[in-house]
Amino acid sequence: MIDTATETTSTPENNATLPNFSDLGLAEPVLKAVLEKGYERPTPIQAEAIPLLLQGKDVIGGSQTGTGKTAAFCLPILTRLLEGGHQKNPRCLILEPTRELAQQVIAQLETYGKYLDLKVVLLHGGVKYGRQREALDAGVDIVVATPGRLLDHMQQKALTLKDLDVLVLDEADRMLDMGFMPDVRRILDKCPDKRQSLLFSATIPPAIEKLSERMLHEPSQIRIGGGRKPAETINHAIYPVDDRQKFDLLVSLLERIEYHSVLIFTRTKAGADIIGNWLNGREEGSASVLHSDRTQSQRDKALKEFKDGKCDILVATDIVARGIDISGVSHVINYDVPENAEDYVHRIGRTGRAERSGDAVTLYTAQDKDFLGAIERFIGKSIERKQLEGFDYAYTPAMQHDKPRKKKRNRGYQAPDSYKPRWRR
Ligand code: AMP
């Protein structure tokens, strides 16, 4: 079992004692592409994982994002696939829970593999089958997919996994939350027994532990810390507010803070649509909305406009919370407190990435008491409460901050009066 609560946070820039990329055994063309990308040194997870993966070992690892995890598995996979030449069927399958994460992995494979002649195909739902089928027919080395669409292609005999050398299951606990486990098991059944398998997961609930026993053979464990700890570069605070004043407070905050890109999280898809519409109803506003009920082109457009800086507010559900690598998010606003304590760390982790500073604000109503309690227990400390100066707050019980109770003094031993000062007798 992996201890995801270790305190050693690894970020791309924070360790000068690490080896050089040229010491890790990567193929020359891969190394060239990495150095051109401007990475000076491998991150801790890369330094640990790359040699193991090059030896063909199975690995189970914490999936904290922002640690360079994607390159940690992409670079050795590209190096290993260089041997063996093209085949009609894929030799590597990378499974991702969301389309956005799958797209991100493809982008990294294309960057690091730009001097290689390897074919990479992205398969996810929400788009037509035709182009994906044509790409598969032309022969493919690496498939990056979400589970449902992959199974569709397999059922239509457009793809077989019988020649697979490497299988990567990324964000496994997220797959579990999203109900993908039956699909994942069906995919595993179609993979050859002799293969290298990698499993990444932020937490290891019993279902993932069982899956890992079935999927991995004598795996090496990679410990990636920081799973419970928000990055130190993030200032985060709680703003208690009455439920009916939430939107007004959001608008006042947006007027007051100097942001250049704000990510606003809601708990529900309907909530994201409503907040997006309200924000767009303002004179200043241009907000995009991203959640899983939007069409693929709407999702792509929303993310692209936000990444390119064309739109400075993105309202989203937790689909964006994990792993999406958007540089330069200056503020995260949790319009709703997340129900899942771990999602708090993921959400606010969208700002303050790669050692940049960032601010995260959470609007907190009295109904969210239990959720907030769970978050504070999860991160191991109380989050600062703040009020926006000049905002005309209505009173709400959420403003009462129940500080952790002090330990009671031990009253078991009563000193005899003669040992007490006169005033305490
Ligand atoms: P990930 O954890 O895979 O989401 O990566 C987070 C970010 O770190 C991505 O933008 C990567 O391009 C970047 N990155 C990955 N490896 C390195 C490295 N060795 N040095 C600097 N940045 C890196």
- Decide if 71 contacts 113 (C-beta within 8 A): no
Q: Ligand 1 pocket, 68 CB below 6 A?
A: yes
Cβ atoms within 10 Å, residue 393: 16
Q: Ligand 1 pocket, 12 CB below 6 A?
A: yes
Q: Is 182 helix (H, G, I), strand (E, B) or coil?
A: helix
- Decide if 29 contacts 246 (C-beta within 8 A): no
Q: Candidates 10, 39, 75: which one to mutate for ligand 1, based on the most atoms within 8 Å of Cβ? A: 39
User: What stretches of 178-328 show up as alpha helix (H) in DSSP?
Assistant: 181-189, 206-215, 246-256, 269-280, 296-307
CA 134 distance to own-chain centroid: 31
Residues 6 or more apart from 155 whose CB is under 8 A from it?
Answer: none
pLDDT of residue 318: 87
Which of 66-75, 162-171, 217-226, 318-327 has the highest average model confidence (pLDDT)? Answer: 162-171
Q: Ligand 1 pocket, 42 CB below 6 A?
A: yes
CA of residue 25 to ligand 1 center, whole Å:
19
Q: Is 41 helix (H, G, I), strand (E, B) or coil?
A: coil
Q: DSSP class of residue 199?
A: E
pLDDT band at 224; cut points 50, 70, 90: low
Residue 390's Cβ-count burial label (10 Å; 0-12, 13-18, 19+) is exposed
d(CA 228, CA 231): 10
Which range among 84-88, 115-119, 216-220, 266-270 shows the weakest confidence by mean pLDDT? 84-88
pLDDT of residue 354: 53
pLDDT of residue 203: 77
Which range among 111-120, 182-191, 229-238, 335-344 shows the weakest confidence by mean pLDDT? 229-238
Question: pLDDT: is 222 or 131 the higher one?
Answer: 131
pLDDT of residue 421: 53
Q: Ligand 1 pocket, 71 CB below 6 A?
A: yes
Q: Is the pLDDT of residue 414 over 80?
A: no
Check if CATH label 3.40.50.2300 holds for domain 3-224.
Answer: no
pLDDT of residue 285: 67
- Tell which phi-psi region holds residue 70, choosing left (phi > 0), alpha (psi between -120 and 50) or beta: alpha
Mean per-residue pLDDT, 199-208: 85
d(CA 291, CA 296): 10
pLDDT band at 234; cut points 50, 70, 90: confident
CA of residue 208 to ligand 1 center, whole Å:
26
CA of residue 322 to ligand 1 center, whole Å:
15
Q: Which atom of ligand 1 is nearest to the CA of 66?
A: 2
Mean per-residue pLDDT, 124-145: 95
pLDDT of residue 5: 30
Instruction: Name the segment(s) of the chain with CATH classification 3.40.50.300.
Output: 3-224, 234-424
Q: Ligand 1 pocket, 64 CB below 6 A?
A: no
Q: Ligand 1 pocket, 4 CB below 6 A?
A: no
Strand partners, 167: 93, 197
pLDDT of residue 185: 96
CA of residue 7 to ligand 1 center, whole Å:
20
**377-393 residue pLDDT tens:** 888 889 999 999 999 99
Please name which of 153, 209, 214 lies closest in space to residue 188, comparing C-alpha atoms.
Answer: 214
**β-pairing verdict for 142-145 and 120-123:** parallel
Q: Is the pLDDT of residue 416 over 60?
A: no
d(CA 140, CA 153): 14
**35-60 residue pLDDT tens:** 999 998 998 889 999 999 999 999 99
pLDDT band at 62; cut points 50, 70, 90: confident
CA of residue 12 to ligand 1 center, whole Å:
6
Cβ atoms within 10 Å, residue 23: 13
Q: Ligand 1 pocket, 325 CB below 6 A?
A: yes
Q: Which atom of ligand 1 is nearest to the CA of 65?
A: 2
- Decide if 288 contacts 311 (C-beta within 8 A): yes
Q: Ligand 1 pocket, 49 CB below 6 A?
A: no
pLDDT of residue 330: 87
Q: Ligand 1 pocket, 362 CB below 6 A?
A: no
pTM score > 0.85 for this model? no
pLDDT of residue 189: 96
Residue 98's Cβ-count burial label (10 Å; 0-12, 13-18, 19+) is buried
Phi/psi of residue 387, nearest 5 degrees: -125, 145
**β-pairing verdict for 92-95 and 166-169:** parallel
Q: Is the pLDDT of residue 197 over 80?
A: yes
Q: Ligand 1 pocket, 345 CB below 6 A?
A: no
Q: Which run of H or of E encompasses 379?
A: helix 369-379
- Tell which phi-psi region holds residue 315, choosing left (phi > 0), alpha (psi between -120 and 50) or beta: beta
d(CA 88, CA 141): 8
CA of residue 13 to ligand 1 center, whole Å:
9
Amino acid at the residue 10 = S
In this structure, the chain runs to a length of: 425
- Strand order across the 313-316 sheet: 287-290, 313-316, 262-265, 331-334, 358-364, 234-240, 384-385
Percent composition of the chain: helix, strand, coil (DSSP 3-state, to 5)? 40, 15, 45
Ligand 1 atom 12: residue of nearest CA: 68
| Residues above pLDDT 90, as percent of the chain | 60
Which range among 114-118, 309-313, 402-406 shows the weakest confidence by mean pLDDT? 402-406
d(CA 251, CA 278): 10
Ligand 1 atom 11: residue of nearest CA: 68
Please name which of 118, 354, 347 lies closest in space to residue 233, comparing C-alpha atoms.
Answer: 354
Q: Which atom of ligand 1 is nearest to the CA of 70?
A: 3
**319-373 residue pLDDT tens:** 887 767 777 788 999 999 999 888 898 888 887 665 566 789 999 999 999 999 9
Phi/psi of residue 123, nearest 5 degrees: -125, 115
Q: Is the pLDDT of residue 26 over 60?
A: yes
Q: Which fold has domain 234-424?
A: Rossmann fold (3.40.50)
pLDDT of residue 341: 86
d(CA 359, CA 349): 10
Mean pLDDT of the chain: 86
pLDDT of residue 170: 94
pLDDT of residue 291: 93
| Residues above pLDDT 70, as percent of the chain | 85
